[in-house]
């Protein structure tokens, strides 16, 4: 039997009838894709408290900052690996316009991904950085617009391991409802991902998240006619394009997420959402806020509707609870993951 943590009409009222930030107007049902659960109760009770001007925990709108990891937090990552890993594998090993041009280390990184997803071979130690450096090289020379179009073209392909869904539409429906709920309660949310910033921008544009609210892995850009001149010494013309280089600036994981949040947002978030150890630093940064705060971790424990390792997910769930995070169970808490018409099937290669 699925867990149910809502035991009183008062709590149910807070979620489904509720009141606006000053408890004056009826509130719509934001959470049609959720089952009643501890995490949802925690979120709605938190938002009700901090948006009530009479509460001692009231937070002004300009300080209502929420940060969200992307892969595995509101975008699927189990098909059979991260979108950006799948994209690099395709680019280097299958794309006829590039596969014969890839440097050897880039080919090795792409082959490691292929061996992992097809044969279950463990990725090399430190693969986050191996991939980041390889990806920087693989897309170097593309203009920002060309790369955006390239990502979106791949995103339009059917998602491996599912029917009725493309990579570009693999959003967790319940988490999209969280976005709507927070927006209507005066929160500004940011995507803070380990994936390439421009990949993230291309994917989340479909759900209306603006480019300036996306933080991710970065490479150096240059003007198309800049040559070897430093940007401080060169004046770009109106007819020039911005081009990706092979110089990696930052892999946006762990404490790097905190550093980038501080650099780009300039405020400590009061809400943080993630799904892995790469998000723990961001959560801890949030929970250190002097304002009331909360952090949430999703666990991929649904092996019927998604390609999940339930045993591993449950172990992580226990770890996250001990760390002081609210745990969202995709199996127990989500009525649907990807929406109607999407079905898990075997991977094909």
Q: Which residues of 6-23 are buried (b: 16+ CB within 10 A; e: fewer)?
A: beeeebeebbbebeebee
- State the Cα–Cα distance between residues 130 and 125, nearest whole angstrom: 9
Residues of the chain with CATH 3.40.50.1000: 9-77+169-216+250-344
pLDDT of residue 25: 54
- State the Cα–Cα distance between residues 349 and 119, nearest whole angstrom: 11
pLDDT of residue 337: 98
pLDDT of residue 239: 97
**Whole-number Cα distances in Å, 87 to 155, 159, 249, 257:** 9, 12, 20, 23
- State the Cα–Cα distance between residues 294 and 320, nearest whole angstrom: 13
Regarding the domain with residue range 9-77+169-216+250-344, which homologous superfamily does it belong to in the CATH classification?
HAD superfamily/HAD-like (3.40.50.1000)
pLDDT of residue 7: 37
Cβ–Cβ under 8 Å, residues 162 and 307: no
pLDDT of residue 2: 42
From first to last of its 349 residues, the chain has per-residue pLDDT tens of 444 443 333 344 444 434 444 544 567 899 999 999 999 999 999 999 999 999 999 999 999 999 999 999 999 999 999 999 999 999 999 999 999 999 999 999 999 999 999 999 999 999 999 999 999 999 999 999 999 999 999 999 999 999 999 999 999 999 999 999 999 999 999 999 999 999 999 999 999 999 999 999 999 999 999 999 999 999 999 999 999 999 999 999 999 999 999 999 999 999 999 999 999 999 999 999 999 999 999 999 999 999 999 999 999 999 999 999 999 999 999 999 999 999 999 999 9
- State the Cα–Cα distance between residues 316 and 318, nearest whole angstrom: 5
pLDDT of residue 14: 45
Q: Which of 149, 144, 116 is nearest to 130 (CA)?
A: 116
């Amino acid at each position: 039997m699925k867990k149910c943590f809502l035991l009183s009409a008062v709590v149910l009222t807070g979620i489904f009838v509720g009141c606006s930030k000053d408890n004056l107007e009826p509130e719509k049902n934001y959470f049609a894709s959720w089952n009643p659960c501890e995490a949802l109760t925690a979120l709605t009770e938190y938002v009700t408290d901090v948006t009530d001007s009479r509460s001692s925990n009231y937070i002004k709108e300009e300080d209502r900052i929420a940060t969200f990891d992307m892969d595995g937090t509101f975008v699927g990552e189990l098909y059979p690996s991260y979108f950006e890993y799948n994209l690099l594998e395709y680019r280097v090993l299958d794309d006829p316009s590039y596969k014969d041009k890839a440097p050897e280390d880039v080919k090795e990184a792409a082959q490691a991904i292929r061996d992992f997803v097809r044969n279950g071979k463990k990725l090399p130690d430190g693969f986050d950085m191996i991939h980041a450096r390889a990806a920087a090289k693989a897309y170097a020379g593309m203009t920002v617009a060309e790369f955006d179009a390239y990502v979106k073209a791949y995103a339009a392909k059917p998602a491996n391991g599912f029917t009725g869904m493309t990579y570009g539409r693999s959003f967790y429906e319940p988490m999209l409802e969280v976005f709507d709920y927070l927006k209507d309660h005066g929160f500004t949310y940011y995507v803070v991902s380990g994936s390439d910033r421009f990949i993230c921008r291309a994917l989340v544009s479909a759900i209306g998240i603006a480019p300036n609210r996306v933080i991710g892995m970065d490479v150096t850009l240059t003007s198309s006619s800049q040559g070897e001149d430093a940007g401080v010494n060169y004046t770009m013309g109106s007819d020039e394009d911005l081009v990706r280089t092979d110089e990696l600036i930052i892999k946006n994981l762990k404490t790097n997420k905190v550093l980038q949040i501080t650099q780009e947002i300039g405020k400590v978030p009061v809400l943080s959402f993630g799904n892995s150890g790469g998000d723990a630093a961001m959560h801890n940064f949030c929970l250190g806020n002097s304002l009331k705060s909360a952090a949430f971790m999703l666990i991929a424990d649904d092996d019927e509707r998604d390609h999940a390792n339930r045993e591993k997910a449950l172990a992580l769930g226990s770890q996250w609870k001990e760390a002081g995070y609210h745990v969202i169970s995709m199996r127990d808490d989500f009525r649907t993951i990807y929406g109607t018409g999407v079905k898990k099937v075997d991977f094909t290669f």
